[in-house]
Amino acid sequence: MSFRNFVPIAESAKIQKELDRQMVFLENCNTEFEGDVKEFGDTVKILNAGKPTIYEHNDGKIHSHASEDLEGSAFFLPIKQVAQAHFGIGDIDKQIARGNLYSVYLEETKTGFGDVMDKFIAAKAADPNVEKYAPATAVSASNVLDYIDYCKVWLEENDVKPSTEISLVGSPKFCDFVRKAYIAKGIDKATEHLQNGEITRYNNMIIKQSNNVYTATESGTDYEYIQVKTNKAIAFVKPLLKLEPYRNHPMHRDELAAFVYYDGAVVRPKEIITLKVKYA
* Co-location of 110 and 12 in the same domain: yes
Output the domain CATH number for residue 165. Answer: 3.30.2320
Q: Is the pLDDT of residue 257 over 90?
A: no
* Co-location of 112 and 12 in the same domain: yes
pLDDT at 86: 85
* Co-location of 158 and 256 in the same domain: no
* Co-location of 46 and 24 in the same domain: yes
* Co-location of 65 and 195 in the same domain: no
* Co-location of 199 and 261 in the same domain: no
* Co-location of 157 and 255 in the same domain: no
pLDDT confidence bin for 231, thresholds 50/70/90: very high
pLDDT at 194: 42
For residues 2 and 233, the model is more confident at: 233
* Co-location of 155 and 225 in the same domain: yes
Indicate whether 1 belongs to any domain.
no
pLDDT in tens, 26-66: 889 988 876 677 777 888 887 665 667 888 888 888 888 88
Indicate whether 82 belongs to any domain.
yes
Domain that holds residue 227: 125-233+271-277
Least confident of 91-95, 234-238, 264-268: 91-95
Total domain count, the chain:
2
pLDDT confidence bin for 171, thresholds 50/70/90: very high
Show contacts of 196-205: CB within 8 Å, 24+ apart. 196/21, 196/24, 196/27, 197/24, 197/27, 197/169, 199/175, 202/145, 202/148, 202/178, 203/145, 203/148, 203/149, 203/152, 204/152, 204/162, 204/163, 204/166, 205/148, 205/152, 205/166, 205/167, 205/168
* Co-location of 26 and 154 in the same domain: no
